[in-house]
Protein backbone atom coordinates (compact mmCIF):
# COMPACT_ATOMS: atom_id res chain seq x y z
CA UNK A 1 0.00 0.00 0.00
CA UNK A 2 2.76 2.45 0.95
CA UNK A 3 4.72 1.70 -2.21
CA UNK A 4 1.58 2.23 -4.30
CA UNK A 5 0.95 5.63 -2.70
CA UNK A 6 4.55 6.67 -3.20
CA UNK A 7 4.46 5.53 -6.83
CA UNK A 8 1.37 7.67 -7.35
CA UNK A 9 3.21 10.74 -6.08
CA UNK A 10 2.48 10.82 -2.34
CA UNK A 11 4.95 13.09 -0.57
CA UNK A 12 6.90 11.04 2.00
CA UNK A 13 7.89 14.24 3.83
CA UNK A 14 4.50 15.93 4.16
CA UNK A 15 3.71 17.29 7.61
CA UNK A 16 0.72 18.94 9.19
CA UNK A 17 0.72 21.43 12.06
CA UNK A 18 3.42 19.52 13.95
CA UNK A 19 6.64 17.92 12.73
CA UNK A 20 5.18 14.46 12.13
CA UNK A 21 5.68 12.82 8.74
CA UNK A 22 4.63 9.47 7.27
CA UNK A 23 8.11 8.29 8.23
CA UNK A 24 7.44 9.41 11.83
CA UNK A 25 4.29 7.28 11.89
CA UNK A 26 6.16 4.26 10.51
CA UNK A 27 8.93 4.68 13.10
CA UNK A 28 6.43 5.16 15.94
CA UNK A 29 4.58 2.05 14.82
CA UNK A 30 7.79 0.06 14.70
CA UNK A 31 7.23 -1.02 11.11
CA UNK A 32 10.77 -1.41 9.79
CA UNK A 33 9.71 -2.48 6.28
CA UNK A 34 7.61 0.67 5.87
CA UNK A 35 10.47 2.79 7.28
CA UNK A 36 12.84 1.28 4.72
CA UNK A 37 10.33 1.78 1.89
CA UNK A 38 9.81 5.44 2.74
CA UNK A 39 13.55 6.07 3.07
CA UNK A 40 14.19 4.42 -0.31
CA UNK A 41 11.53 6.67 -1.86
CA UNK A 42 12.78 10.05 -0.67
CA UNK A 43 11.84 10.10 3.00
CA UNK A 44 14.00 12.61 4.86
CA UNK A 45 15.32 11.22 8.15
CA UNK A 46 16.14 14.75 9.30
CA UNK A 47 12.43 15.61 9.51
CA UNK A 48 9.69 14.27 11.70
CA UNK A 49 11.42 13.97 15.08
CA UNK A 50 12.28 10.36 14.22
CA UNK A 51 14.50 9.56 17.18
CA UNK A 52 11.83 10.80 19.59
CA UNK A 53 9.26 8.59 17.88
CA UNK A 54 11.66 5.64 17.87
CA UNK A 55 11.81 5.66 21.68
CA UNK A 56 8.09 4.97 21.69
CA UNK A 57 8.26 2.40 18.87
CA UNK A 58 7.19 -1.18 19.15
CA UNK A 59 9.60 -3.87 18.08
CA UNK A 60 13.35 -4.04 17.85
CA UNK A 61 14.39 -0.39 18.00
CA UNK A 62 18.22 -0.69 17.77
CA UNK A 63 18.05 -2.04 14.22
CA UNK A 64 15.60 0.66 13.22
CA UNK A 65 17.61 3.44 14.82
CA UNK A 66 20.80 2.28 13.18
CA UNK A 67 19.02 2.58 9.84
CA UNK A 68 17.74 6.04 10.70
CA UNK A 69 21.14 7.23 11.86
CA UNK A 70 22.60 6.01 8.61
CA UNK A 71 20.19 8.37 6.85
CA UNK A 72 20.98 11.40 9.02
CA UNK A 73 18.35 11.45 11.78
CA UNK A 74 19.60 13.68 14.61
CA UNK A 75 20.66 11.67 17.67
CA UNK A 76 20.59 14.23 20.45
CA UNK A 77 18.16 17.02 19.50
CA UNK A 78 15.69 18.56 21.91
CA UNK A 79 12.18 17.58 20.88
CA UNK A 80 10.71 20.14 18.44
CA UNK A 81 13.54 22.61 19.06
CA UNK A 82 13.99 23.11 15.34
CA UNK A 83 10.33 23.23 14.32
CA UNK A 84 8.57 26.48 15.20
CA UNK A 85 4.99 25.37 14.36
CA UNK A 86 5.36 22.41 16.74
CA UNK A 87 6.73 24.66 19.47
CA UNK A 88 3.48 26.62 19.45
CA UNK A 89 1.71 23.50 20.68
CA UNK A 90 4.40 21.97 22.87
CA UNK A 91 6.37 24.90 24.30
CA UNK A 92 5.19 24.28 27.86
CA UNK A 93 6.03 20.57 27.92
CA UNK A 94 9.26 19.21 29.43
CA UNK A 95 10.89 18.57 26.06
CA UNK A 96 14.23 16.83 26.06
CA UNK A 97 16.36 14.52 23.96
CA UNK A 98 15.44 10.96 23.01
CA UNK A 99 17.69 9.88 25.89
CA UNK A 100 15.47 11.90 28.27
CA UNK A 101 12.42 10.09 26.91
CA UNK A 102 14.02 6.64 27.20
CA UNK A 103 15.09 7.49 30.77
CA UNK A 104 11.58 8.71 31.66
CA UNK A 105 10.13 5.43 30.38
CA UNK A 106 12.72 3.36 32.28
CA UNK A 107 13.75 1.70 29.04
CA UNK A 108 17.18 0.34 30.00
CA UNK A 109 18.02 -1.21 26.59
CA UNK A 110 17.16 2.06 24.84
CA UNK A 111 19.18 4.12 27.33
CA UNK A 112 22.19 1.84 26.85
CA UNK A 113 21.81 2.01 23.07
CA UNK A 114 21.68 5.81 23.06
CA UNK A 115 24.70 6.04 25.32
CA UNK A 116 26.65 3.63 23.11
CA UNK A 117 25.82 5.78 20.07
CA UNK A 118 27.13 8.93 21.77
CA UNK A 119 24.07 10.60 23.27
CA UNK A 120 25.09 13.16 25.88
CA UNK A 121 23.88 12.14 29.38
CA UNK A 122 24.66 15.66 30.60
CA UNK A 123 22.49 17.49 28.06
CA UNK A 124 19.63 19.21 29.85
CA UNK A 125 16.01 19.31 28.78
CA UNK A 126 14.21 22.64 28.35
CA UNK A 127 13.63 22.76 32.12
CA UNK A 128 17.30 22.25 32.95
CA UNK A 129 17.08 18.58 33.97
CA UNK A 130 19.51 15.80 33.12
CA UNK A 131 18.19 12.45 31.85
CA UNK A 132 19.19 10.88 35.20
CA UNK A 133 16.98 13.35 37.05
CA UNK A 134 14.07 12.68 34.73
CA UNK A 135 14.47 8.93 35.28
CA UNK A 136 14.38 9.33 39.06
CA UNK A 137 11.38 11.67 38.91
CA UNK A 138 9.52 8.92 37.04
CA UNK A 139 10.50 6.22 39.53
CA UNK A 140 13.37 4.66 37.58
CA UNK A 141 16.26 4.97 40.02
CA UNK A 142 18.14 2.13 38.31
CA UNK A 143 18.20 4.10 35.06
CA UNK A 144 19.21 7.26 36.92
CA UNK A 145 22.14 5.38 38.48
CA UNK A 146 23.15 3.95 35.11
CA UNK A 147 23.18 7.43 33.59
CA UNK A 148 25.16 8.83 36.53
CA UNK A 149 27.78 6.07 36.20
CA UNK A 150 28.08 6.64 32.47
CA UNK A 151 28.41 10.41 32.98
CA UNK A 152 31.37 9.91 35.31
CA UNK A 153 33.07 7.41 32.98
CA UNK A 154 32.51 9.58 29.90
CA UNK A 155 34.22 12.54 31.59
CA UNK A 156 37.42 10.58 32.32
Assign a CATH topology to domain 93-156: 1.25.40
Pair 42, 106: CB distance under 8 Å? no
101-156 per-position pLDDT tens digit? 999 999 898 899 889 888 999 999 999 999 999 999 999 999 999 999 987 655 44
**Per-domain residue ranges of the chain:** 1-74, 93-156
State pTM to two decimals. Answer: 0.82
The Cβ-side half-sphere exposure at 106, using a 13 Å CA radius, reads 7
pLDDT at residue 74 tops 50: yes
Secondary structure (DSSP) of 112-153: HHHHHTT--TT---TTS--HHHHHHHTT-HHHHHHHHHHHHH
Q: Give the whole-angstrom CA distance, residue 96 versus residue 139.
A: 18
Pick the CATH number of 1-74 from 1.10.1060.10, 3.40.50.620, 3.40.449.10, 1.25.40.20: 1.25.40.20
Q: Identify the band that residue 100 occupies on the pLDDT scale cut at 50, 70 and 90.
A: very high
Q: Measure the N-to-C terminal CA separation of the chain; round to a whole number of Å.
A: 51
Q: Give the whole-angstrom CA distance, residue 86 versus residue 81.
A: 9
Amino acid sequence: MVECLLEKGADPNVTHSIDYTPLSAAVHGGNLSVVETILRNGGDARQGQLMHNAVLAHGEFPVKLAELLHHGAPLDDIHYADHWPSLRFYQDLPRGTPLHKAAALGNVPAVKWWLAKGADPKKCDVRGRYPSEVARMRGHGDVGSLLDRYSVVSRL
